[in-house]
Structure 1
């Protein structure tokens, strides 16, 4: 992977300006405590849900079964051949689903414990701020997200928010730079630490391609391999929602221009 080019819009200028204009966040609510394995396993969106693979196989089986009932022949295969093919897929999916579920259910506790260990050693619990910057590689909009480590002192976190707000606002005022910013974020791994944008003093924030929907999120290296550092070279990382006690998620606040 090539070295990421310099970010558009001179973000370091906005870091200097933010020193005088930072305003602490007025939102209520303390970050959730997910330090224990029990709270992490119950509140962080499942990384390895036993139902995920089995559910996908059952959906595939159901769709194949419907196709087998409604199939029309074509120039390559006859009705009967298409029907037999879809029926085979439906049967295979139905048989494989419980096998996959049982296997994942057996390995899930160990994989979650490994994920918890990686989170404690290398991960970040962060407050998310959604931007209007589109980083999608398709026609569907995908917002870039600013994550601010909850351990960041309030004054420093306020300056980080002000710097991102000023930088994004300046980019949005110039259509070419706004488009270039989305392309710039897409060209790398999708994870940019604050220091990469604003300089060495801007630790505690990350600009990411997306992931999750709630106010509180976990940013951590993928735990299925040797953990990567959470820096600009990180290739394998995850952004996961942290659910409320009732199972829901709080909506994140916007940052920068809204559109």
Structure 2
């Protein structure tokens, strides 16, 4: 039996008080970061391979089904506003198409050939990277996509939550984060999903830092799409340049970005 499918360490959940349920879930969640920590060497190896390819014009793709697919879509969709990159530099693809983000599409994850078909809309090249996300490590949609991507010369990686899986075998640089049984048996949206989210945060953020999208500890290329982000940008300019709020606002209006304002003054 897969670790992710093994029986919960807790029983008679329906007899627990709300406080007991919440405390037990929290206790299980606290084991996730340590499981991720054990996988840092695998994550590092993958990131070290992604960066030079993206510097050479490559893109980063995520594929997955269900919760795993949704997590990939979330991480990809947050890269443009956070790092100011084009919307098609990091792409999340979910089995069943975008409708599956909100509503499960029956049997979509069982189609071995569909992921690579879905990738064709983006004209994949050997500079691109494909990361398969699958808690179980046995999703046919993900295995097929990684297999075909490898044949086409793409860099392939994965994020799985079982050791020795078929998805990991299909990836050149697997990341295996074994978090153990879920609080609710088999509900991989819980600890497994949390682990996958943490790993995706680490991958995309470290890649973007290495691509020069961060200065110091600031998101200097972020897109200012609302008042909160405009205020954040002004505060960053104040911290970096030691100017007044009014001066910072003027610089931001003139140069259009935190990076532009800082670089213009520091020239």
Which bin holds the TM-score, normalised by the shorter protein? under 0.3
Structure with greater strand share of residues:
1
Structure with greater helix share of residues:
2
TM-score, normalisation: structure 1: 0.26
TM-score, normalisation: structure 2: 0.26
